[in-house]
Amino acid sequence: MAASRKLSALRLPPLPTIREIIKLFKLQAVKQLSQNFLLDLRLTDKIVRKAGNLTNAYVYEVGPGPGGITRSILNANVAELLVVEKDSRFIPGLQMLSDAAPGKLKIVHGDVLTFKVEKSFPKSLKRSWEDDPPNVHIIGNLPFSVSTPLIIKWLENISNQNGPFTYGRTQMTLTFQKEVAERLVATTGSKQRSRLSVMAQYLCTVNHSFTIPGQAFVPKPQVDVGVVHFMPLIEPKIEQPFKLVEKVVQNAFQFRRKYCHRGLGMLFPEAQRLESTEKLLQLADIDPTLRPTQLSLLHFRSLCDIYRKMCDEDPQLFGYNFRDELKQRKDKIEEKEESNGLQMPL
């Protein structure tokens, strides 16, 4: 009984509802920023529960907006909540929450894509990568416009064990457009299998926790929203530098409806493309007529390992980008056409 009284005493005092906050500060979702407000506190509580036990945890919330998930996090008995919000219109409402939870909520007016959270929490929270995850969590209802670049940025941080993962294997609970959520968890051979599937799953255990119907948001988006939980793996499924893995995976899915040799061939300059692609697939022991969606994490591990050896043999190979070669060819054709035009007789 004493413990339950202690927890109840930490709950926020009566506050205006999120809907009232929106009216009070005349907040409107900005379509260009793909903002959608989640007003149902039962749903924000559910998102926070999917993050796990947050008692005495340090939480980094991205894109808090009017503060729906923020309230649910504070009610979970956290040690400290840090929110980073780019839109200055939301700061007064968040400040109201901060005043209601003295010493618990820190507000930063900034951009999550550039904010350095690794300097924000006590160093004592740090755990070695092989240990249990630290008591640090990332939670957020991400605007659709930043969700993909942000998760790619954080996956690179996981690979390098820096940024928010300086503290160890920090867990993430994030919202995505349902289609993106399905891609993140898509298995080998499924239609949703994509670059995101491979990049997320070679570094994390990824779970699509539940789906929130679009009508729960204001304004209502044209799609439903998926809540996804990420737990970084102790050992990545592919042990190569992130940029190398990203390059191989991006090229593999370049032509997702064609055989995999078509996209993987774009890793190599045109003059050696056929020979090098054949060598890559042969040494990686991969059927060139598999579709990109049929390639497993083991396939990609082999591809990345062999491609790394080929780059070591030819140091200029990793810097090759087929788009640069196409542009150079186009520029030469245009120069030739201009030259021929100047030489035409009057």
Q: By C-alpha distance, which of 200, 111, 208 is closest to 159?
A: 200
Per the DSSP assignment, residues forming a β-bridge with 61 are: 83, 139
First-to-last alpha carbon distance for the chain, in angstroms, is: 100
Q: Are 58 and 82 in contact (CB under 8 A)?
A: yes
Annotated binding residues, written as ranges, equal 36, 38, 63, 85, 111, 141
312-to-244, 276, 278 alpha-carbon distances in Å: 12, 14, 18
The whole-angstrom separation of Cα 332 and Cα 334 is: 5
Please report, in range form, the residues annotated as the binding site for S-adenosyl-L-methionine: 36, 38, 63, 85, 111, 141
CA 79 from chain center: how many Å? 25
- DSSP 3-state percent helix, strand, coil across the chain (nearest 5): 50, 15, 35
Beta strands in 58-203 (DSSP E): 58-62, 80-85, 105-109, 136-141, 171-177
